[in-house]
Amino acid sequence: MFVSFRRIHKCRCVQLLTTGLFLYAMIVYWEELDHHIVSHIKAYTHRYLINSYEFLNSSFTIASNHDHMKGGSHSLVGRIWNYSYLINHPGKCGEDGKFRENVLLLLFVKSSPENFEQRQVIRDTWGNESFIWSELGASVKVVFALGIHPDVRRRYRVQLALLQEDQTFGDLIQQNFLDTFHNLTAKLVLQFHWVHDYCPQARFFMSADDDIFVHLPNLVKYLRQLVRSKSGAKNLWVGHVHRGSPPVRQKHSKYHVPYDLYPWPSYPDYTAGAGYVLSSDVAAKIYHATLVLNPSIYIDDVFMGICAKTMGVSPQEHVYFSGEAKAPYHPCIYDHMITSHGHATDMSSLWEAATDPTVYSSYRGYIGNLYCKAVRAMLLCLPHYQNTYSCLAAFV
């Protein structure tokens, strides 16, 4: 009798303790959870029901410049940011006197001064212009966008190394701003200004992080299909689209945006900055938007979304452009993938595997197709710890 009483007592204790712990966890995390859920609901409501983001035009346009702009003379007002070039290659796109090369794609890789290795891996793999020219017959130009090293003590040495690197490869574009996370919008503006000034004839423009893999043969194929299609290579902005994203209000987050910078509950749609493609007409529109909009939002892909919205351009989703996602390593994926995020040393092996001409041959035909659909469904639709392409991508 006594023993069983004690046992009950012990059980109670454990029960009480777990309940207590659970409640404690709820109290500690509820605020975060609540914030997350509520901000998403608000953002979606805002995005889909209430607002068409008309406020962006009036809130972000820099008024005094606007009147000048209407006069059509950009040089009068200058640019909001006009950092000088420290390294530049005005002739990269073949702008040499009268000759203008027929460029299919200008690809800007957002790099940082000290990321020497990442740039080298890209040059050796998907960024090899002569490979793309000889194997695919496509003129693709790959350049790297950089600022200056933020640490004054290391800047000089890093800069010397950059100059040397550029002597060898001739593909760095550097402007005189600090290369920091909060200056990413300056890097975005650099890209659009460079395209406008030195490579306006490129039919497509791509912006990419330096830790992504781009399956250039698939991308070139896709772009050529677009050029041949009825609608043509116009009005295109394609990537992994974020729709109705709420601004992050938690102060400790890297992406924190305070209310006074952006008071509304959701951002206009934008493509993940990891990698997206524009047609030249859209790139020109974004350039014009950067001349009149206040670049105070330091998240570059959000600022891009604001520029696009005010110019009346909407992004399109492509299931094989990854956001943060990393593609599964499988031949049934290689046939379709365009970009994959989060690569470093594995870039070379992926490039070799994904561009091996024999890689698809055993997956052709009716049976091969069916098999690949099943494999893709397994790889993409089952729950995974790793973030990959969405399940929809299994069925294209």
Shortest Cβ 163–ligand NAG spacing (Å): 18
Shortest Cβ 179–ligand NAG spacing (Å): 8
Q: Which stretch binds ligand NAG (CB under 6 A): 5-13, 76-84, 92-100, 200-208?
A: 76-84
139 is a contact residue toward ligand NAG (CB under 6 A): no
Nearer to ligand NAG, 86 or 106 (CB): 86
57 is a contact residue toward ligand NAG (CB under 6 A): yes
Among 59, 88, 180, 390, binds ligand NAG (CB under 6 A): 180
Distance CA 110, CA 183 (A): 12
Among 82, 167, 253, 386, binds ligand NAG (CB under 6 A): 82
Distance CA 315, CA 271 (A): 7
Q: Which stretch binds ligand NAG (CB under 6 A): 138-146, 177-185, 212-220, 243-251?
A: 177-185
79 is a contact residue toward ligand NAG (CB under 6 A): yes
Q: Residue 282 contacts by C-beta under 8 Å, 6 or more apart in sequence?
A: 235, 236, 237, 308, 313
| 3-class secondary structure, 200 | coil
Buried b (16+ CB within 10 A) or exposed e, 280-302: bebbbbbbbbbbbbebebbbbbb
Distance CA 396, CA 378 (A): 14
Shortest Cβ 160–ligand NAG spacing (Å): 19
310 is a contact residue toward ligand NAG (CB under 6 A): yes
Distance CA 208, CA 197 (A): 20
Interface mask (CB under 6 A) for ligand NAG, residues 246-275, using x and -? Answer: ------------------------------
Among 177, 192, 262, 334, binds ligand NAG (CB under 6 A): 177
| 3-class secondary structure, 56 | helix
Shortest Cβ 18–ligand NAG spacing (Å): 47
Shortest Cβ 387–ligand NAG spacing (Å): 28
Tell me which residue of 324, 305, 323, 313 sits closest to 264, measured CA to CA.
305
**In the sheet where 85-87 sits, what is the strand order?**
85-87, 172-178, 140-148, 105-110, 204-209, 275-279, 237-239, 316-317
Among 112, 139, 174, 183, binds ligand NAG (CB under 6 A): 183
Residues 375, 332 contacting (CB under 8 angstroms): yes
Q: Which stretch binds ligand NAG (CB under 6 A): 42-50, 95-103, 107-115, 304-312?
A: 304-312
DSSP 309-336: HHTT---EE-TTS-SS----S-HHHHTT
Using CB under 6 A, count the residues that bind ligand NAG: 24
Interface mask (CB under 6 A) for ligand NAG, residues 333-372, using x and -? Answer: ----------------------------------------
Structure tokens at 146: 């950089």
182 is a contact residue toward ligand NAG (CB under 6 A): yes
Among 31, 124, 151, 324, binds ligand NAG (CB under 6 A): 124
Residues 143, 195 contacting (CB under 8 angstroms): no
Q: Is residue 6 classed exposed, middle or buried when 0-12, 13-18 and 19+ CB atoms within 10 A define those classes?
A: exposed
Nearer to ligand NAG, 62 or 178 (CB): 178
Shortest Cβ 26–ligand NAG spacing (Å): 37
Q: Which stretch binds ligand NAG (CB under 6 A): 30-38, 126-134, 233-241, 299-307?
A: 126-134
137 is a contact residue toward ligand NAG (CB under 6 A): no
78 is a contact residue toward ligand NAG (CB under 6 A): yes
Tell me which residue of 173, 39, 47 sits closest to 106, measured CA to CA.
173
Strands (E), the chain: 85-87, 105-110, 140-148, 172-178, 204-209, 212-214, 237-239, 241-242, 270-271, 275-279, 316-317, 339-341
**Residues in the site for ligand NAG, rule: CB under 6 A?**
53-54, 56-57, 75, 78-79, 82, 84, 123-124, 128, 130-131, 134, 177-178, 180, 182-183, 186, 309-310, 312
